Amino acid sequence: MTTINWLEETNKRKEDLLSTTQAFLRIKSVLDPETAREGAPFGEGIREALDFALGVCEKAGMTIKDVGGYAAHAEFGQGEELIGILSHVDVVPEGDGWSTPPYAAEIVDGRLVARGAIDDKGPTMAAIFAAKIVMELGLPLSKRVRFILGTDEESSWQCVKTYFETEEMPTMGFTPDADFPLIYAEKGLTDLTLRQTVEAFQRLGLSAAENVQAKLVSLQAGLRMNMVPDKGVAILAPIGLDSHAIAEHYRQYLQGNSLTGEAVEKDGFVQLHMEGVSVHGMDPSKGVNAGTELTHFLQSLALDERGAAYVGFADRYLYRQHGGDALGIAHVDEEMGALTVNTGVLEYEVDKDALFRLNIRYPHSISFENWSALLTSHGAEAGFVLEVAEHLTPHRVDPQHPLVTTLQRVYTEQTGEEAGIIAIGGATYGRSLDVGVAFGPLFPGRADSAHQRNEHILVDDLIKATAIYAQAIYELAK
Ligand SMILES: [Zn+2]
């Protein structure tokens, strides 16, 4: 058989690929509970985008199936085994400040600009056209290929959860919803709350503090578990120290530690404001946690018993503890990197539950049961109970698996570049598949515009990705 020039085959279909992708991007497929109905659980826009993509697949000769509007699939090929390609048709809201309208899908300076251009409607259409090339060339396949189109990847992943309750799990597959060359491993992700009720604190039976300087009235920092808090504020009621002395002490602390914040004396109370540096919770060491920097200062005052216990716990176990060393849960994996702890939210108020909300990410070589038991027992020392709000187990495909080696080879053949494989701390759609990796569409060195204003994909990259996906589909399913 003569070798196929996948790029040339893609270029023959370039106009059609571009105009179809533009039409797809012009559908505003943002989650819209207002227009949700049976068959369109996430609203009309997403339903319309789903129908559009299915229409392209059906016209190409694929068999389609809708799963209640939560997800749908389009299939071709034959055989026992199933190759899955998982992508999503929903997009995040467009936001402000665009240079061209977010749903105009204009091509400006070689860039296709639109909400969804890179995440994930552009790559979805690239993969569908890739399949069309394989079909139109009449290449023999020994496996089935199935596009699985999700509809709420940007919110709760109800789509894939619902889909896989009734539908077949592919033998292996990829998602064109992250980076090239290939992401084969993702850490386990947890959102956890350590909660101490007033009663649980009282049961500890701690003796009353002596020479109390101030009472901690409230403390609040952070909004989300997966972000490092950039603001924290504590309110103190002076007791043994006057408010002026506390404020002065705080100012000196800020200065001495090169921190930004202020102390405000008001109505007999002192408000302590702390500014941090917010970064994503997957690498908290890159940020400055306004909450734990604040508790570290508070630790230097003699506070009321409960306030002292709260800041004491934060200071002992969470202050600059990005790897969980003090909790005894530190673990570094050669492949997947370190367990990370982000203290995303701190909440304290007199007479209410006191909370720490944590985002802990862990590699596959340490078990959740193992480290969460340690966290539970340290929490119990101060009357905190551990609640698991979210837990996604680590995801990893063996680097020697044919899925990985085949996609690496295809990438290298198409780009001339070495295809290193990547382990990440975040989550891609790839983890929805039992044996799944993320494969493109963002090429190394390109700025990631996903979720930002002026989201775009370079037209050349869209073409190149289509050629890569075409060869990948063929090689995996032949
Ligand atoms: Zn996405």
Instruction: Reduce the secondary structure of the chain to three states and give it as a string.
Output: CCCCCHHHHHHHCHHHHHHHHHHHHCCCCECCHHHCECCECCCHHHHHHHHHHHHHHHHCCCEEEEEECCEEEEEEECCCCEEEEEEECCECCCCCCCCCCCCCCEEECCEEECCCCCCCHHHHHHHHHHHHHHHHCCCCCCCEEEEEEECCCCCCCHHHHHHHHHCCCCCEEEECCEECCEEEEECEEEEEEEEECHHHHHHCCCCCCCCCCEEEEEEEECCCCCECCCEEEEEEEECCCCHHHHHHHHHHHHHHCCCEEEEEEECCEEEEEEECECCECCCHHHCECHHHHHHHHHCCCCECHHHHHHHHHHHHHCCCCCCCCCCCCCCEECCCEECEEEEEEEEEECCCCEEEEEEEEECCCCCHHHHHHHHHHHHHHCCCEEEEEEEECCEECCCCCHHHHHHHHHHHHHHCCCCCEEEECCCCHHHHCCCEEECCEECCCCCCCCCCCCCEEEHHHHHHHHHHHHHHHHHHHC
> At residue 65, what are phi and psi to the nearest 5 degrees?
-145, 130
Handedness of CA 469, 470, 471, 475 (dihedral sign): positive
Whether the per-residue pLDDT at 206 is higher than 90: the answer is: no
Confidence band (pLDDT; 50, 70, 90) for 2?
Answer: low
Average pLDDT of span 295-313: 97
Domains of the chain, CATH where assigned: 6-187+395-477 (3.40.630.10), 188-233+278-392 (3.30.70.360)
Cβ neighbours of 80 (radius 10 Å): 8
Q: How far is the CA of 440 from the centre of ligand 1 (A)?
A: 11
Average pLDDT of span 394-413: 97
Q: How far is the CA of 408 from the centre of ligand 1 (A)?
A: 21
How far is it, in rounded angstroms, from Cα 309 to Cα 314?
Answer: 9
pLDDT digit string, tens, across residues 76-102 = 999 999 999 999 999 999 999 999 999
Mean pLDDT of all residues belonging to the chain: 96
Residue 208's pLDDT is what?
Answer: 76
pLDDT digit string, tens, across residues 219-269 = 999 999 989 999 999 999 999 999 999 999 999 999 999 999 999 999 999
Q: How far is the CA of 119 from the centre of ligand 1 (A)?
A: 5
Average pLDDT of span 288-304: 97
Long-range pairs, 39-45, Cβ under 8 A, ≥24: 39/66, 39/68, 39/69, 40/69, 41/68, 41/69, 41/70, 41/151, 41/152, 41/158, 42/69, 42/90, 42/151, 42/152, 42/155
Residue 60's pLDDT is what?
Answer: 97
Q: How far is the CA of 36 from the centre of ligand 1 (A)?
A: 21
Average pLDDT of span 334-353: 96
How far is it, in rounded angstroms, from Cα 43 to Cα 29?
Answer: 8
Cβ neighbours of 420 (radius 10 Å): 10
Residue 3's pLDDT is what?
Answer: 87
Cis amide linkage into residue 441, ω under 30° from 0: yes
Cβ neighbours of 268 (radius 10 Å): 9
Q: How far is the CA of 120 from the centre of ligand 1 (A)?
A: 5
Residue 426's pLDDT is what?
Answer: 86
Residue 183's pLDDT is what?
Answer: 97
Angle (CA) 211 214 219, round 5°: 140
* Catalytic residue positions, numbered: 90, 153
Whether the per-residue pLDDT at 309 is higher than 80: the answer is: yes
Residue 209's pLDDT is what?
Answer: 77
Average pLDDT of span 172-187: 97
Confidence band (pLDDT; 50, 70, 90) for 19?
Answer: very high
How far is it, in rounded angstroms, from Cα 120 to Cα 177?
Answer: 6
Residue 210's pLDDT is what?
Answer: 83
Average pLDDT of span 419-435: 94
Q: What is the dihedral of CA 163, 167, 171, 176, to 10 degrees?
A: -30
Whether the per-residue pLDDT at 372 is higher than 90: the answer is: yes
Whether the per-residue pLDDT at 429 is higher than 70: the answer is: yes
Q: How far is the CA of 333 from the centre of ligand 1 (A)?
A: 27
Residue 423's pLDDT is what?
Answer: 94
- Quick one: what percent of the chain has pLDDT higher than 90? 96
Whether the per-residue pLDDT at 105 is higher than 80: the answer is: yes
Whether the per-residue pLDDT at 1 is higher than 70: the answer is: no
Whether the per-residue pLDDT at 104 is higher than 70: the answer is: yes
Residue 353's pLDDT is what?
Answer: 98
- Quick one: what percent of the chain has pLDDT higher than 70? 100
Q: How far is the CA of 459 from the centre of ligand 1 (A)?
A: 19
Mode of pairing for the β-strands spanning 63-67 and 111-113? unpaired
Q: How far is the CA of 279 from the centre of ligand 1 (A)?
A: 20
Average pLDDT of span 308-327: 97
Cis amide linkage into residue 230, ω under 30° from 0: no
Q: How far is the CA of 45 from the centre of ligand 1 (A)?
A: 17
8 Å CB contact between 122 and 462: yes
Gyration radius (Cα) of the chain, Å? 26
Q: How far is the CA of 438 from the centre of ligand 1 (A)?
A: 11
pLDDT digit string, tens, across residues 280-290 = 899 999 999 99
Q: How far is the CA of 475 from the centre of ligand 1 (A)?
A: 25
